[in-house]
């Protein structure tokens, strides 16, 4: 029996070693608890929704959050300092975004805040056509974290993280960077360039500092980068309806929570570079749910998407655009 157990141990030892390495290194920051989830010097992309939920739990008792920005990565360019000009400097904002965010994600986050008995005095909800679609969220970066689903998908969430770690493409880039400390061009598919962004811990805010520095030096809009904008605009197009019965229910419950908290809510439909208009039926539903005076549709052709210099890429518009939209939304009579 002892001989059999020894052979069994030897057989599984490579697997146990890999698991141990994953647990000790915790590349995606999902195994251990951290007091600080800052991302400036990290090369590994991590699930932003998971990190944000952990940061909220870590800091809510001391930061007393009462105002929240919801959306996908585009919402990151709505800076807290700019928003506070309209909601008051005495507020305590928190960025509760997610990479490739979804309606379900916002629904889960609003419920998560409500369950933690935090007030929601102000809410800024950043939407776009892609957020309203039912996307593929099986990626370790995009899937809903177990922290927001009451652990309903705990096994799926952590197994997805682990299997991503095992992919040859990730292993090569991760350990190359780990041992050399050098970020190389081939790594861009699985790792991000360290110090590309800055992070503010109290508000969970990320800023694209590197891109703005390159733009200031005239080095960002290279011929290669400009090519991605070619042929991506469809000014005469209207998107198909995306808000189905399931999303209607989620939006309805989000609105109910806001009503219970007497939330001052503003919904912004982003000015995507593609110039495709939000479907009128989706717009009408949002207006009837959150109030016509609280929903602002900037999709379709406009002055911002007339110039690609207002964008980092065909999806993410720059902070100065977000500032202009806030001014319109909050200063409109």
Phi and psi angles of residue 96, each rounded to the nearest 5 degrees, phi first = -115, 65
Residue 48 reports pLDDT greater than 60: yes
Query: pTM (2 decimals)?
Result: 0.93
Q: What is the DSSP letter of 170?
A: H
Domain range summary for the chain, segments of one domain joined by +: 2-331
Residues present in the chain in total: 333
Instruction: Give me the mean pLDDT over the 241-250 stretch.
Output: 95
Angstrom distance (rounded) from CA 50 to CA 68: 16
Instruction: Give me the mean pLDDT over the 318-328 stretch.
Output: 98
> Residue 206 has which token pair?
């990320």
Strands 264-269 and 295-297: what pairing?
parallel
- Degrees to nearest 5, angle at CA 293 with 291 and 296: 100
Phi and psi angles of residue 56, each rounded to the nearest 5 degrees, phi first = -60, -45
Residue 151 reports pLDDT greater than 60: yes
Angstrom distance (rounded) from CA 151 to CA 108: 12
> Residue 104 has which token pair?
């379900």
Strand, helix or coil at 163?
helix
Residue 39 reports pLDDT greater than 80: no
Instruction: Report the mean per-residue pLDDT for the chain.
Output: 92
Angstrom distance (rounded) from CA 107 to CA 127: 13
Instruction: Name the residue among 193, 192, 212 with its Cα closest to residue 77.
Output: 212
Angstrom distance (rounded) from CA 145 to CA 148: 6
Angstrom distance (rounded) from CA 25 to CA 46: 14
Angstrom distance (rounded) from CA 140 to CA 322: 28
Residue 286 near residue 292, CB atoms below 8 Å: no
**Owner of token pair 């001014």:** 327
Angstrom distance (rounded) from CA 181 to CA 177: 5
Q: Which of 8-12, 163-167, 175-179 has the lowest mean pLDDT?
A: 8-12
Instruction: Name the residue among 106, 90, 55 with its Cα closest to residue 289.
Output: 106
Instruction: Name the residue among 324, 305, 277 with its Cα closest to residue 79.
Output: 324
Q: What is the DSSP letter of 224?
A: H
**Band of residue 40 on the pLDDT scale cut at 50, 70, 90:** confident
> Which residues are CB-neighbours of 253 under 8 A, at least 6 positions away?
107, 110, 111
Residue 238: what pLDDT?
Answer: 96
Residue 3 reports pLDDT greater than 80: no
**Band of residue 180 on the pLDDT scale cut at 50, 70, 90:** very high
Residue 70 near residue 124, CB atoms below 8 Å: yes
């Amino acid at each position: 029996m002892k001989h059999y157990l020894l052979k069994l141990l030897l057989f599984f030892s490579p697997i146990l070693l890999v698991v141990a390495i994953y647990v000790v290194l915790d590349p995606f920051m999902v195994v251990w608890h951290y007091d600080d989830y800052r991302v400036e010097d990290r090369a590994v992309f991590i699930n932003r929704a998971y990190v944000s939920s952990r940061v909220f739990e870590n800091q809510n008792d001391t930061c007393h959050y009462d105002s929240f920005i919801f959306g996908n990565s585009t919402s990151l360019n709505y800076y807290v300092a700019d928003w506070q000009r309209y909601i008051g400097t005495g507020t305590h904002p928190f960025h509760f975004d997610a990479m490739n965010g979804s309606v379900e994600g916002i629904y889960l986050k609003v419920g998560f805040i409500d369950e933690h008995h935090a007030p929601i005095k102000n809410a800024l909800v950043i939407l776009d056509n892609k957020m309203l679609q039912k996307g593929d969220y099986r990626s370790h970066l995009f899937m809903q974290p177990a922290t927001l689903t009451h652990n309903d998908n705990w096994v799926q969430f952590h197994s997805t993280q682990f299997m991503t770690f095992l992919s040859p493409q990730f292993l090569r880039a991760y350990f190359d960077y780990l041992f050399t400390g050098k970020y190389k061009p081939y790594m861009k598919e699985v790792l991000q360039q360290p110090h590309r962004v800055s992070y503010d811990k109290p508000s969970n805010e990320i800023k694209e500092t590197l891109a703005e520095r390159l733009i200031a030096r005239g080095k960002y809009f290279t011929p290669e980068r400009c090519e991605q904008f070619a042929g991506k605009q469809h000014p005469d197009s209207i998107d198909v309806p995306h808000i189905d019965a399931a999303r209607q229910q989620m939006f309805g419950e989000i609105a109910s929570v806001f009503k219970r908290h007497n939330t001052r809510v503003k919904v912004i439909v982003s000015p995507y570079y593609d110039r495709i208009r939000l479907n009128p039926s989706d717009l009408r539903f949002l207006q009837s749910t959150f109030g016509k005076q609280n929903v602002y549709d900037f999709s379709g052709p406009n002055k911002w998407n007339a110039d690609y210099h207002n964008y980092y890429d065909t999806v993410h518009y720059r902070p100065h655009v977000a500032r202009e939209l806030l001014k319109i939304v909050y200063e409109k009579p």
